[in-house]
Structure 1
Amino acid sequence: MDRITALRAAQAANLDQMEALLATAHADGERDLTAEEKAAYAAAQAEDDRLVAAIGRETDAERRRAAAAKPLPGLPGGTRITPTGATVPAAAAEPLQPGIAFSRITQALILGDMDQRAAASIAEERWGSDFGQVVGNMEQSTTTKGGFLVDTRYASDFIDLLRPTVAVRAMGAREIPLPGGNLTTRKKTAGSAAAYVGERQAIPTTDVRVGQMTLSAKKLAAIVPIMNELLRRPSRQVDEMVREDLRESVAITEDQQFLRGVGSATAPTGARYLAAAANVFAANATINLQNVTNDLAALRLKLLTANIPMSRAGYIISWRTAIFLETLLDGNGNKAFPEISQGRIGPYPFRATNSVPTNLGAGSNESEIYFADWAQMVIGDEDRLTIAASDVASYVDTDGVTRSAFQNDETLIRVIEHHDTGVRYDQAIAVLTGVKWGA
């Protein structure tokens, strides 16, 4: 796979040379290429043809090597794989739950000790020739030593797995690809660009203000320890357990960052800090049904008066706030918000998550409520994930204790993904701060 990567890098450099020759001619008034430039362009064309053919041969050879490979290495912990001499028979493709394919690719790389040929053989023996080919055709990462790039289809499969768990994704934030890791587009900050005009009247300039939304892929890395004992016993239950461990580690970090991340050169900005300053305000200090109702109405009003489309409008709240609203009674002893049991606050859906803190403020007892048209928030996902594994590395657990994967008969999986966040309209997000409901 290193040869394929080198060939593709050479092809990219060669194409840059071809584009540079054309750009020179265009810059000089769309003139034709000179004789010298034509010769250089023809040579670059021939080189590109050669590189395309070479890449094709190398890719075909890798596929054939993966299909012909036999199990070679030992499993973590010293267990050996005994070749059976047979492959899994062809069968109709079974629909897989989101993330199962990603889980199997990860297991194959671990069991193959990050040796691609061995991993492809293991994948074929356990799950069929299709999985063997997927693992056999993976590219080695040029930025992560010893890592492999997961095919775009399975990277997207993993993001689908995150969607129900990450509140901002679940509420309908717009997910777009980040080819090359960067995207710059316009965003609206205020105003309208339409007006009625008469015949032969000039269209007036209306008070529309626009800015730029720039997405630049930020790197999220997670370390996930997996017990080797699990990996020695292949089953659907093991597939699901590995999948859930991978999802949990990434989803919790995404959920927290997409909501309250301050944002930096290395981390995306959360909804709290994407909101327009005028849309962030404090809850009434006196807690009663009337004030709670007024505060929720004030959140909605921030968006409604800004002509936000409200196509995917809803709340994200803490679990403490959800329980408070669920149990709040009116003067007659009736539930003030009976629709909570149906997943709504008034007419709008809500999502409760522990990523909305309840320990803010001077008294460490305050929370926040986010109301937004989540379709105006954008998550740019770079369609590539990188996997690496080690059974000898160490890690620090949640209690601050350093643990050795080797001593604990574990394998550490490192998953790296890239994404960024933005908002298409600053006023599409409103935040209520200082929420002590239920404290």
Structure 2
Amino acid sequence: MSKVLQLRSERAELNTKLQALAKIEAEGGSLNAEQLTEFTSLETQIADLSAKITRAEAAEKAAALAAVPVDEGAQGAQSPPAGRVEGPFTPKPVPGMKAGQMVRLLAAAQGNQQVAAQMAKDGNFPVDVHMALSTVTPGAGGVLVPTNMAAEVIEALRPVAVLRRMGVTSLPLVNGNLTMPRITGNTVVTYIGTETDIPVTGMTFGDTKLSAKKAAALVPVSNDLIRVQGVNPRADAIAANDLVTSMGLSQDLHFIRSDGSGDLPKGLRHWAIPQHVVPAPSTATPTLQQIDLFLGGLMLRIESANVVMNSCGWLMNPRTLRWLQSLRDGNGNKAYPEIEQTLLKGYPVGLTNQIPVNLGDDGDESEIYFVNFADMMIGEDMDIILDFSKEAAYQVGGQWVSSFQRDQTLVRAIARHDFGPRHVECIAVGIGVKWGAGM
């Protein structure tokens, strides 16, 4: 461990003790003489460590600037023999791995962050995991995941949540709210004759308001996995995946199709204006010309709104894409060969089973979305709350399961976020899609 990281870790431990004393007065109590002396001593030690850290950082920087490669001598740098690749090598970090380590340690410590921090220190976990656990704050009976870990979890969600993968913009929610102004009407410039009054024009504005909605996931984690000692990449990856999968699938479900009622966010389907909701050809086996006109019509709705098309893409159920992939023209050639590269009419396709295939009166319809994803926003409160229990029960398919009997620890993850577009004209929805219903 570098000297700087060691000093930072010592300072974090002292700060924890200092905050505990400060909390006594914050809650209306008073410090006795011994506690006041300890408080003053902690202040002095923290100040001394901060000065040492500054000097150690300067020394490390100077050492790095003065370093000479080991293969460099009087004759200059010596190249390695052809065909040989030299190390040492640093493994590429896996998104969500440190968050998974934090979940595993907190679960083993039953949510006690100080015990988890000591376990991280004794188990040779990365220093930033130890420091995060040392300074993490309890809230409402749970543990608030620090911002750096929360950002890592959100990054790990991208492969799971198709909307994030398609390039939706993520923004912080300050105090749980965000208002984004948007232009709803532009000025108009026209030509006039000589000695003619210039017509008055103006702009109109609107707002997209995001307010934090609470999303929760209950994740059973095997106690055998929690008992794995030390840093184990496979165990940590499983813990991270357990944490993010349910959250990612829930976000897709609500950000795509939720109607915004009650405590739910409003999804793409209900943000779309009526003019941009287009019925598909009514037959289950339309002609290629009908399909092409329908898909082109969805694209035209976005183009007619003067949307920059660089970040557009499709969302659909896998059933729909596989049916389009099987289409042939009159010569037997694939109608949309670019589907092999997960493209349709030149734009990327996101597949998700969170778009149903059992809509409509006969339960055989689905939907297709064409969206400018750069204009979509996910507002996020970066604090994720984790709670742990080895005794609680949970339901699976209507059946109650005892975590104690199954030798599991339940991890409850709660996050706060909302979803909305800057411009509602950037969403087009095809409804009544029966293609592939017989596959």
Smaller-chain TM-score bracket: 0.7 to 0.9
Aligned position for 2:216: 221
**Following TM superposition, by how much is the alpha carbon of 1:128 offset from its aligned partner in structure 2, in angstroms?**
4.0
Instruction: Provide the rounded CA distance (Å) in 2 between the counterparts of 1:101 and 1:246.
Output: 12
Aligned position for 1:98: 95
**Following TM superposition, by how much is the alpha carbon of 1:321 offset from its aligned partner in structure 2, in angstroms?**
0.5
Residue 432 (str. 1) matches residue 422 (str. 2): no
**Following TM superposition, by how much is the alpha carbon of 1:10 offset from its aligned partner in structure 2, in angstroms?**
9.5
CA contact (8 A) 1:4 1:58 kept: no
Aligned position for 2:353: 354
Instruction: Provide the rounded CA distance (Å) in 1 between the counterparts of 2:392 and 2:45.
Output: 32
Unaligned runs of 5+ in 1: 12-52, 64-90
Instruction: Give the secondary-structure state (helix, strand or coil) at the position aligned to 1:164.
Output: coil
Question: Which residue, out of 391, 397, 411, partners 1:413?
Answer: 411
Aligned position for 2:205: 210
Aligned position for 1:32: none
* Amino acid across the alignment from 2:332: G
Q: CA RMSD in A?
A: 3.2
Q: TM-score scaled by structure 2?
A: 0.76
Instruction: Give the secondary-structure state (helix, strand or coil) at the position aligned to 2:175.
Output: helix
Instruction: Give the secondary-structure state (helix, strand or coil) at the position aligned to 1:180.
Output: coil
Q: Report Cα offsets for 1:350-407 as digits up to 9, x if no partner.
A: 111101110000000000000011111111011111111111111001x211011111
Q: Report Cα offsets for 1:110-166 as digits up to 9, x if no partner.
A: 11122222110111222144322210110111xx32x11111111111111112221
Number of residues of Structure 1 aligned to a counterpart in Structure 2 = 365
**Structure 1 residues 59 and 9: alpha-carbon distance in aligned structure 2, compared to 1, 3 A threshold:** farther
**Following TM superposition, by how much is the alpha carbon of 1:196 offset from its aligned partner in structure 2, in angstroms?**
6.9
CA contact (8 A) 1:276 1:426 kept: yes
**Structure 1 residues 130 and 421: alpha-carbon distance in aligned structure 2, compared to 1, 3 A threshold:** closer
CA contact (8 A) 2:170 2:378 kept: yes
CA contact (8 A) 1:124 1:130 kept: no
Instruction: Provide the rounded CA distance (Å) in 1 between the counterparts of 2:186 and 2:134.
Output: 53
Instruction: Provide the rounded CA distance (Å) in 2 between the counterparts of 1:60 and 1:332.
Output: 78
Aligned position for 1:321: 320
- Overall identity of the aligned pairs, in %: 35
Aligned position for 1:237: 234
CA contact (8 A) 2:103 2:240 kept: no
Instruction: Provide the rounded CA distance (Å) in 2 between the counterparts of 1:384 and 1:96.
Output: 22
Instruction: Provide the rounded CA distance (Å) in 1 between the counterparts of 2:386 and 2:45.
Output: 21
Question: Which residue, out of 151, 155, 168, partners 1:156?
Answer: 151
Aligned position for 2:272: 275
Aligned position for 1:255: 252
**Following TM superposition, by how much is the alpha carbon of 1:95 offset from its aligned partner in structure 2, in angstroms?**
5.0
Instruction: Provide the rounded CA distance (Å) in 2 between the counterparts of 1:162 and 1:283.
Output: 32
Aligned position for 2:311: 312
CA contact (8 A) 1:111 1:122 kept: no
Instruction: Provide the rounded CA distance (Å) in 2 between the counterparts of 1:253 and 1:344.
Output: 25
* Amino acid across the alignment from 1:326: Q
Residue 118 (str. 1) matches residue 115 (str. 2): yes
**Following TM superposition, by how much is the alpha carbon of 1:99 offset from its aligned partner in structure 2, in angstroms?**
0.6
Unaligned runs of 5+ in 2: 1-15, 27-38, 50-87
* Amino acid across the alignment from 1:120: A
* Amino acid across the alignment from 1:310: M
